[in-house]
Amino acid sequence: MMRTSYWAVGMLLVFSFSTGCSWHMAPRESAPSGNEVSQAELTATGATSLYEALQRSRTRFFTQRGVMSLKNTPVDGMLVFRDGALMGSVEVLKTMRASDVVMVRHLNSVETWAKYGRNVSIGGLEVELATK
């Protein structure tokens, strides 16, 4: 009988601590996810350059992940493509206005290699510009 009462008191304490701590946990807004960023999302950041807009909305696009290869190490971190052609490095994004872009699509390093034959350490960005 004594053992049962200790067990009941223990369970009561565990339950009260777990519910007592959960009241202050505010719901978190999840960071934007996905590999595509629309024009609406880019302009909502308030940034003037495309680079700034992507830094504000999808910081993870610029984060290097995984293990580096010891053989055939990539020269470029990230490359930017438009209509299947290489535009340049990330520096190109600083010269583009966020409002001129319809969509930005992120490719990881494997996808960049498969689609464009370029060895990069972070990945690639496909930029679709608005036609005027």
**Domain annotation covers residue 22:** no
- Reported confidence tier of residue 27, pLDDT bands at 50, 70, 90: very low
pLDDT digits (tens, 9 = 90+) for 33-51: 688 999 999 999 999 999 9
Q: How many domains would you assign to the chain?
A: 1
For 113, the token pair is: 């290699």
pLDDT digits (tens, 9 = 90+) for 74-124: 677 899 999 999 999 999 999 999 999 999 999 998 899 999 998 888 889
**Domain annotation covers residue 3:** no
pTM score over 0.85: no
Q: Which pLDDT value is given to residue 26?
A: 45
- Here the CATH number for the domain that contains residue 46 is 2.170.130.10
**Domain annotation covers residue 87:** yes
Domain containing 131 equals: 33-66+75-132
**Domain annotation covers residue 8:** no
Point out which residues pair with 37 in neighbouring strands. 104
**Domain annotation covers residue 14:** no
Phi–psi pair at 14, nearest 5 degrees: -60, -45
